[in-house]
Each structure stands twice: as structure tokens, then as C-alpha cells.
Structure 1
Amino acid sequence: MTTTELAPHTTGVPSRPGLTPAGLVTVLLGAALPIIDFFIVNVALPTIDADLHASTATLELVVAAYGIAYAVLLVVGGRLGDSFGRRRLFFAGLWLFTLTSLACGIAPTATTLVIARAAQGAASALLLPQVLSIIQATTSGEERSRALGLFGATGGLSTVVGQLAGGALVAANLFGTGWRPIFLVNVPIGLVVLVLARRLPESRAHNPLGVDRLGTALLAVTLLSFLVPLMEGRALGWPVWTIVLLALSPFAAAAFVHVERRMERRGGTPLLPPSVMRLPSVRRGLTVGVPFFGAFGAFMFVFAMTLQEGLHFGPLGAGAVLTPMAVVYFVVSMLSSRLVTRYGQKVVAAGGLITAVGMVTLLCTSLAQWPNLTILDLAPSMVAIGVGNALAMTTLFRIVLSHVPTDLAGVGSGVMTTTQQTSLALGVAVLGSLYAALSVPGAMGVRDAFALVIGLVAVLAAVVAITARRLPDPRV
């Protein structure tokens, strides 16, 4: 699932009383909203398609626009909180998230929805980094450990709520609004949390890191010039602008790397510091993480579309199918730290292998029983995929950060989370576009296109299981 672990860049000393139980509930609610929103959208995609007459390529953008904006601005959001106050940025991010949720909910066209989703991702990038920063700066000892444990549980629980709530809200079709309540429900909840947030203690870093404006802009250009043509090119017949953007992407990437290296040589802290990227734990962790996160992003998009368009489960049925995966992910992620303590990096290999087995099981079950699949038929594969993701995903974060210097913990976590979100969007762009091209009548059809993509996801998970053996031991 989507992980939002981002430690503060520098630990500030709270200037006010520590975090009260009500304050902890407030920040955890703020953390839950964007995570729920990430998962709730997948269940609603076919309904959005039917209402707004969006192409599959545009639906990919509805998912990826959020992730791209979040990935690009995540580190910036954390650094702004360190500089101007974490409570202030939490409040600002929550305001923006509430407003952009309203904009998503009333979007009249698919294009408007894509733009609103990008703005919503940017708001999440301001909001989410403040949660761990506030906890770290206003708690200590056992209180901090308990708060961090609850934060981890919030992430897992939010995935479950996202699947169930998304299906239930879309299926209810409240007042004939279809998919719109999945976004509009954020508005009253956001307003309540805003009222509660006024009592949060303020904190900021003593020596905050500056914002890498040029690096941020170049990263945005790199991602957009590469991902947007991949998603939209085929559907539009590859117009000239898509070719131009694709040709631009490697030059933008090279410029980004050059700017990051130059900034670090001059004593600054770039968006993605090359010295951190060169650490064996980070380099090897990201090498394993990119295909794993990309495969998961593609799976969530393609499976959600297939459940409703190919198997006609409906939004509530699709949410019910995905719920066992989310529940198991939540439970196993709570136990993963004990397994890492005992088995180290082998947990990632086991997670990749179990995920691959789950995908192969899903592939075989689908081919054998299509189109008469039931929730019970799909449950074994969902459980295996949930277990595998929980073991691999949570452990990868721990491994990547295990050898990062303490004063760069926030930077290292930002590198990991930015890479995760970029990979999720990349998976949707590449394998989602492949599915869109092959699932139409006259091509392979929905069943065979789904089988091909799931087979490729299984291969990627198996590659993760093999390459994870080279990961450093996080216990050392």
C-alpha cells in the first residue's frame, strides 16, 4: 500500500506543551484523509468513466496526477513545515486538501477532475509530512513510541476504510451523485479536523533546510514529460506534442541530476541528494523498490477496472474483493518489525515471493473461471498479495533508512517516499496503458489483457524476491 513515512528533517524542541491525546487524534485524522483518498479512487474509476465519458488514458491521469504532484512536492512540504511551523503547514495543507476535495467532487469534466486531483496531491504533500514532524517534535520516550505505532496503524487502517468506503459510497449513489461523494465526504471531515487543529502545539526546526526550487521544477518537468505522453499518446494517436515531450524527458532528467550534484557540491541540501542516493542501503533499496511499487500501482489500477468492466462486480463488490487484501496488509504490517528483527532483509524476499504466488494464483483462477468469479474465488489470491505487500513494502522503508545518518533521516525518507509515488505513477502509465490498448474489442479483450498484465506483475514480484537477497541487513 501507499506508505507515507516521512521523518522530520531536523528535530525541533516544542515551545508549547506536548501533544495531547486530542492533538494526536487530530494529526492522525489528517494523515488518514489523503491515504483513504488514494485508495478510494480506484474503486470509483469505472463510474467516473461512465459519468464523464473519460478514456482509460484519462482515468490513468486521475490516479497518476495525484501521485505525481505528491511525489514532486513531498520534500518541499516537509521543509516548509520545518521553516514556517509544522502546525501552520498542517493547517494550510488541510485547508487546501478540503478545498481541492470539493473541487474534485464538483468537477464537470474529466479534464477538470485531473487538474483538481493534481491540486489535491499537492495539498497532501503539504499536509502529510507535518504529521510525523509534529509527533517527533512534541513527544518523547514511550509516548512517542505509542504515537508512532498508532501512526503506522492509521496507514494500514486507512487502506481498509478506503476500499470499503469507496465501494459503499459509489454504490449508494446518494441523491444521484454517483462517484462524487468519495471526494465530497472529505469536506465536512476536513472542516472538523481544521477546528481541532487550532489547538495543536507549534514547532519548527532550529536550522531548517532550504527549498530546492530549481530541482523541484526540473523533477516535475521530467516526470510530466515522460508519464503524460505514455498515458495519453496512444489514445490521441501520438500527436506531435507527445513525441516532443518524450524527447524532452531525458534532457530534463540529465539537467535535474546536474543541478542536484552542483547544489550539493556548494554545500546545499538538494531535493534528492546524490550522496544519499549513493548509500548502499538507499541505492539497493530503491533498485528493488522501483519495480515493486510500479507493479503494485499497475495492479491496483488494472484490477479495479477489470473487476467492474470485465467481471461486472460493481463498486461495492469491487471494494469487497479488495478488502481481504487491505485487512491482511494491516495485520501483517503490525507484525513485520518482529520478523525483520529475526530474519532481516530476507523478509523482503519472502514478501516478493508471496506476492508473486498471489499474482499467479489470481491469474490461474481468472483464466479458469472467467467470467463466473466470486469474492470467495478471489479471496486466497487477495490474502497472499496482502501478506506479500505488507512484508516487502514496510521492510523496504526500514532498509533504505537503516544506514542513513540521523541528521539526514528526513531527507532519506523523502527520497524513498518520492521514489515510491513516482514508481506507482510509472506503473499505471506503462502497464495501465498496455492494458488499455489490449483490452478493447478487436485486440486481446479484457480477460486476456488482464491476464497478461497480472503475469507481468508476477514476474516483477519474482524479480524483487531474487534481487532482495542483495539488500543490506537492517539489523547491522
Structure 2
Amino acid sequence: MTQNLTNDAPTSAKLPTELSTIAVITLIGGAFVPILSFFVINVALPSIGTDLEASKAGLQLVVGTYGIANATLVVVGGRLGDAFGRRRLFLVGMAGFTIFSLLCGLAPNVLMLLAFRVGQGALAALMTPQVLATIAAVLTGASRIRAVGMFGAAGGVGAAVGQILGGVLVSADIAGLGWRTVFFVNIPVCVVVFIAAYRVIPETKASVRLPVDGIGALLLGTTLVMLLLPLTEGRALGWPIWTWAMLLAVIPLLVVLGMHQRRTEHSGRAALVPPSVLRLRGMRIGLIIGVAFFTTFGGFMFVFAIATQGEAGMTALEGGMTYLPLAISCMAVSIYNAKLQERFGPSIIARGWAIQAVGYLACAAVVAARWPDVGPLTTAIPMFVIGLGAGLVMMPLFGIVMAQVPQEQAGLGSGILITTQQTCFSLGAATVGTLFLILAGTSWGQGGALTAVEVMIAVVSVAAVPVSLGLTRK
């Protein structure tokens, strides 16, 4: 039986009933840093390729391995937090993420960098699901809505700030370290968050320890690797036969995974992703919205960076600064998220889709009219509108979906959401990125390709409006 957003029972008799402002900010830091680390690398890739003599396929993997490792393990991380303590797993994940950030910055070659990026993604998968799970376990009412909205904001703001910060750091070339600073910058932030988490975040866990579904975890991880690896590497390698073989294997793997999860749940054991949870109407609609949003948003962030620093001739700093209006509007929405949800209810998500559709079309018009003479100022208004609409989709989405999950499975619910987020960020960079590069190789050029991508995302946004209105019906 599901429970609503404001009337959950505690998972243990000693569970705290409130989080301090510092505790909430600390938890959100655990969501913000991994997203920032996913996107900050984009503008540093050319520098990494030159310094480490990496191929295009290797550079794609620098991005892809992080997302694949994170998406593969995040549901397991949520389950482990439910079983062994969410604060404990948060601290382990943050400490490990800090260490692997240092190792990435010190990597002597691309193979070592790839190995350390896997470690970064895996440790982020232990940390991030504990954020939503702790919020769901402790907070109620408006406090929970605000905190979940901040979690949603961490995705959009982290993506935008990652691109901005990457541009600043690469351009500054601090102490001659070049691209390595995009990893080193994580360390002081992570240390501060770790110390604060140790002091202010309460320990919570599920009232009954459920064993991790090892077979389900293996099947889910294998399925995601089979999907994301060929999509990440296929274009750079010319789509060799093994990429198609892996993609074809995804379908039977999904069938086997679904059968295993149904059998596990019917036998009374703890399924990794219980089909009963996925059958919840709000969860189904929420995941459809999540797939559409995170795939298109992740793809746009990737191709916009390529185009602006490609034919548009922007520096890394200029390219990064084009995302500043988007970050500002996302943060503005996060401040007023609770009031907006109170006024508009679930329909706020449909409104967000409509607003961002206008933003993408406006950006496409600017690109079509002025390319390649575009810059941070010429794209500022469209990017602000895109961020406004994106914020109105992201921030309520997590709360609405989490409300469908029983509190004792809070880690599971957060794991499903973050798996969707991370998988689709990677999927968007691969699929939308591939479409962009194919079109850019024709007479359309990068300007025409970027215009086409933005129009396509606007169409998806409009199509998502009636789907999102389904959340307003009981």
C-alpha cells in the first residue's frame, strides 16, 4: 500500500522528525557533486585528449564510464542504505568519491583515468540515493516538498554549473594543472560535506533489513552496460559488429530481468525493482516523464557545448558562461518550488514542459538567425526560459514519484529515480549527440544540426504535456 507525501509512518521508533537547514543543504550537496562531476568534464575533454593522447573513443569513455557505473549500481546503493543505514552509506560514498576524484586528477594515462572514473561513479551510487531516502524518512509536509525540490534543482543546477565551472577552470589553467583541476575542485567541497554530514545528518534505515537481490542487481547492471556502452562508443568506433550485438542483447536481458523480478516478488523475497512498485500509476507516469526529460536535457547540454565551442568559436569560458542564465532560473524555481506546487499542484510539471518548449524554440530561432555569431548574451533569454521550464519539470517530479513508494522502501524509490536520471543523461549524450553529429556532417553544419535538435526537444516537450496532466487525475 502506498503512502502520500505528508503521512508516512516512521521506519523506527527512534527516527528523528526534522532535519536542520544545514543537514538538508549537506544532503543536497551529496546530490549536487556527482551531477556536477558528470557535466564538468565536457569542456575539459579536448585538453584531456591532448595531454593524455587519448582517442575520440577513449574520451567518450571518460564521460561514459562514470555514468554507466553510477546508473548500474545506484539501485543497489539505495537498498544497502535501507539495510545498513543511510547516513553510513552516505559517508562511505562521499569519502570514496573524494579519494577517486583525487586519483582522477593524478591519472598518468587514459586507462588509469577510466578506471578511476568507474570508481567515482560507483561511489556516487552509494551516496546519492541516501539523499532522497533520508528526506523521505524524516521530513513531512512542506519541509519535505522543499527538500525534494532542492534535490530536483541539484540536477539542473549541477549540470549547468558543471559546464560553467569546467570552462572557468580549463581557461584559468591554475598552476599549470589544466584539466586536472576539474577533478581536484571536488576535494575541498567533498571534505566539507563529509564533515558536516558526520555531525548533522541522523542515521535512518528500514525497519526490516531486506537482503539485496544479487541476481537482479547483476541482470540490471549487465542490461545497462549492454545499452550504454555501445551507444557511448559506437559512433567514435564506426559502429563495429559488437556494438550491434550488445544492443540486440538488451531485449532478452530485459525479459529475463522482468521474469526474475516477478518471480522473486511472488515468492515473498525482496526484488531489486519490485514490479508492484512499477505498476503504481504515479510511478509509471513519473518514470515516462523522467525518461523523456533527462534524455533530452542531457542530450541538449552535451550538443550545445560541442556546437558553441566548435563552429561558433567560443572559448571554454564563453561556452561555459552560456549556461549561467539556465542555472539562475533553475535556482529561482527551487526557491519558490513549495509555493508553486501548493498553488498549481501536479499540473506544474505540464506547465514546465510548455515553458521549456518555448525556450527551446526561441533558442533554435536565435541559432538559425545568427549562426555562428552567437554568444552568452545572444542566447541568454532562451537559456533562462529553458532553465525555468526545466526546473518546473524536475523539482516536483521527484516528490511526486517518491510519494508512490512505501517509506520502508525509500532507498529503493530514490534508487529507481536516480538510475533513470543517470541512465538517461548518458543515453541523451549518446543518442542526441549521435543525431547531432550525423546532421552536422551534412550541409546543415553544426548550426543547422543544433537548430534541428532544439526543435526536436521542443516537440517532445509539447508531447509530454498531456502525459504529465495524467498526474492530476486520481
Q: TM-score, normalised by structure 1?
A: 0.87
- 1:273/1:318 CA distance change after superposition, 3 Å: same
| Structure 1 Cα separation of the partners of residues 406 and 194 of structure 2 | 35
Instruction: Provide the residue aligned with 1:367 in structure 2.
Output: 368
- 1:173/1:275 CA distance change after superposition, 3 Å: same
| Structure 1 Cα separation of the partners of residues 21 and 223 of structure 2 | 42
Counterpart of 1:472 in structure 2: which amino acid? L
- Counterpart of 1:179 in 2: which secondary structure? helix
Aligned-pair CA distance for 1:105: 1.5
Offset from partner CA, 1:389-416 (integer Å, 9 cap, x none)? 0111222223333444444444333322
- 1:345/1:176 CA distance change after superposition, 3 Å: same
Instruction: Provide the residue aligned with 2:379 in structure 1.
Output: 378
| Structure 2 Cα separation of the partners of residues 344 and 118 of structure 1 | 39
Counterpart of 2:352 in structure 1: which amino acid? G
> Structure 2 matches for 1:229-240, cutoff 5 A?
229-240=230-241
| Structure 2 Cα separation of the partners of residues 18 and 362 of structure 1 | 42
Offset from partner CA, 1:138-182 (integer Å, 9 cap, x none)? 778998788767766766665564344322211101122221101
| Structure 1 Cα separation of the partners of residues 21 and 434 of structure 2 | 46
Instruction: Provide the residue aligned with 2:297 in structure 1.
Output: 296
Instruction: Provide the residue aligned with 1:327 in structure 2.
Output: 328
Instruction: Provide the residue aligned with 1:62 in structure 2.
Output: 62
Instruction: Provide the residue aligned with 1:175 in structure 2.
Output: 175
| Structure 2 Cα separation of the partners of residues 17 and 300 of structure 1 | 38
Instruction: Provide the residue aligned with 2:225 in structure 1.
Output: 224
**2:11 is equivalent to residue 11 of structure 1:** yes
Moved more, 351-360 or 195-204: 195-204
| Structure 2 Cα separation of the partners of residues 57 and 465 of structure 1 | 37
Counterpart of 2:176 in structure 1: which amino acid? G
Instruction: Provide the residue aligned with 2:319 in structure 1.
Output: 318
Moved more, 130-139 or 372-381: 130-139
Aligned-pair CA distance for 1:322: 0.1
Is contact 2:132-2:414 (8 Å) kept?
no
Is contact 1:350-1:388 (8 Å) kept?
yes
Aligned-pair CA distance for 1:316: 1.4
| Structure 2 Cα separation of the partners of residues 9 and 271 of structure 1 | 22
**2:35 is equivalent to residue 45 of structure 1:** no
Moved more, 52-61 or 209-218: 52-61
Instruction: Provide the residue aligned with 1:472 in structure 2.
Output: 471
| Structure 2 Cα separation of the partners of residues 382 and 137 of structure 1 | 35
- 1:413/1:58 CA distance change after superposition, 3 Å: same
Moved more, 311-320 or 412-421: 412-421
Moved more, 453-462 or 47-56: 47-56
- 1:378/1:205 CA distance change after superposition, 3 Å: same
Moved more, 428-437 or 161-170: 161-170
- Counterpart of 1:472 in 2: which secondary structure? helix
- 1:30/1:350 CA distance change after superposition, 3 Å: closer
- 1:170/1:245 CA distance change after superposition, 3 Å: same
- 1:150/1:225 CA distance change after superposition, 3 Å: closer
| Structure 2 Cα separation of the partners of residues 336 and 213 of structure 1 | 38
| Structure 2 Cα separation of the partners of residues 451 and 141 of structure 1 | 42
Q: CA RMSD in A?
A: 3.2
- 1:9/1:238 CA distance change after superposition, 3 Å: farther
Q: Which segments of 5 or more consecutive residues in structure 1 lack a partner in the other structure?
A: none
- Counterpart of 2:310 in 1: which secondary structure? helix
Offset from partner CA, 1:218-263 (integer Å, 9 cap, x none)? 1111121122222322332333322321222211111111111111
- 1:396/1:153 CA distance change after superposition, 3 Å: closer
Between the two proteins, the alignment pairs up a number of residues equal to 467
- Counterpart of 1:205 in 2: which secondary structure? coil
- Counterpart of 1:374 in 2: which secondary structure? coil
Is contact 1:47-1:178 (8 Å) kept?
yes
| Structure 2 Cα separation of the partners of residues 115 and 435 of structure 1 | 28
Counterpart of 1:99 in structure 2: which amino acid? I
Counterpart of 1:118 in structure 2: which amino acid? V
Q: TM-score, normalised by structure 2?
A: 0.87
**2:118 is equivalent to residue 125 of structure 1:** no
Is contact 2:295-2:425 (8 Å) kept?
yes
Instruction: Provide the residue aligned with 1:427 in structure 2.
Output: 428
Is contact 1:295-1:461 (8 Å) kept?
no
Moved more, 16-25 or 257-266: 16-25
